[in-house]
Amino acid sequence: MKSILVPVGSSKNAVSHLQYAVDFANTFGAKLYVVQVYNVDTKAGTMMKVDEMIERESLGFLKSHVDKVNQRNVEIVLKTFKGKLGDTLDTACKTLDVDLIILEPRTNSIKDEVYLGKTSGKIIKQTNIPALIVPEGYVYKPIVKILLAMKSAIINKDDALIPLMEIKNQFKSVLNLLLVKTPFYNEGDLDVSDNLLNHITNSTTSENATTYQGVLEHYKENNPDLLCVVRRNRGFFSKLWESNTILKKDFHSSSLPVLVLSGLK
């Protein structure tokens, strides 16, 4: 993992989250891009240098946050981008060859009952880059146990599991697998390839309406330091993502980081 991106918003957790991102990047020896995306429509007759002014203010905002953290000799690059959030970040990640986005659940200061705010929700839904959602105020620590939850173990993309395996290998983590048989089960969905099976310590099969319900039923007994799920069109958060906002009462495992992989198929 060579390149990590962390968007910075106006939440009260921004500095704490940035410190986690720095500590995580330091473990992997990765470059850290600290970014902010803005979208301002300038109309005819307005100042010609509005973009330059906003970019300067955004860079100053980012620098003020970076100055508040222990940088641990991590290479930190500040970037601002103009455009729509999802598309702009997706393009930026591809251009910068980013391996992982580290997100705080709420990039703006919103109600305490919200787990995943609209901005972070849009990033997860609209980009195809692996993302690590880190709970508010969560202090960096080694990842000892990982729970990988899937409704289908079919993997057609060779690089889909790379972020998970890099984390597992770096921390020498125990990787447990939860296979959830849903009403949308297809023949072969629960057949685990040898390539994945070689990395698994324990495997559990559960029958639930959704992968999400399977996780709620089993994650406590696994007691993971990291939950790993797969981004699909109708995947782990599908029921919750009818809107971009997810409430804490609807996501009870909001006390641990969640790694969201891009689609495996």
DSSP letter string over 97-132?
Answer: T-SEEEE-S-SS---TTEEE-HHHHHHHHH--S-EE
**What is the structure's pLDDT at 174?**
97
**What is the structure's pLDDT at 79?**
94
- 92: CB partners within 8 A, 6+ apart: 5, 33, 35, 79, 81, 98
**What is the structure's pLDDT at 122?**
63
What distances in angstroms separate CA 121 from CA 104, 134, 240, 258, one per listed residue? 10, 13, 10, 13
In angstroms, the CA 236 to CA 153 distance is: 14
**What is the structure's pLDDT at 202?**
94
CB-CB contact of 135 with 112 (8 Å): no
In angstroms, the CA 97 to CA 72 distance is: 22
Q: Are strands 202-207 and 174-181 parallel, antiparallel or unpaired?
A: parallel
Q: Note the pTM of the prediction, 2 decimals.
A: 0.84
Q: How many residues does the chain have?
A: 265
**What is the structure's pLDDT at 90?**
84
Pair of tokens at residue 49: 């240098």
**What is the structure's pLDDT at 43?**
53
In angstroms, the CA 105 to CA 109 distance is: 11
In the predicted model, residues of the chain with pLDDT beneath 70 are 40-49, 106-127, 232-254, 263-265
- The letter for the amino acid at 259 is L
**What is the structure's pLDDT at 252?**
47
Please choose, from the candidates 264, 262, 265, the residue with its C-alpha nearest in 3D space to the C-alpha of residue 90: 262
**What is the structure's pLDDT at 32?**
98
Which ranges in 107-243 belong to alpha helices (H)?
A: 118-126, 162-171, 194-197, 211-222
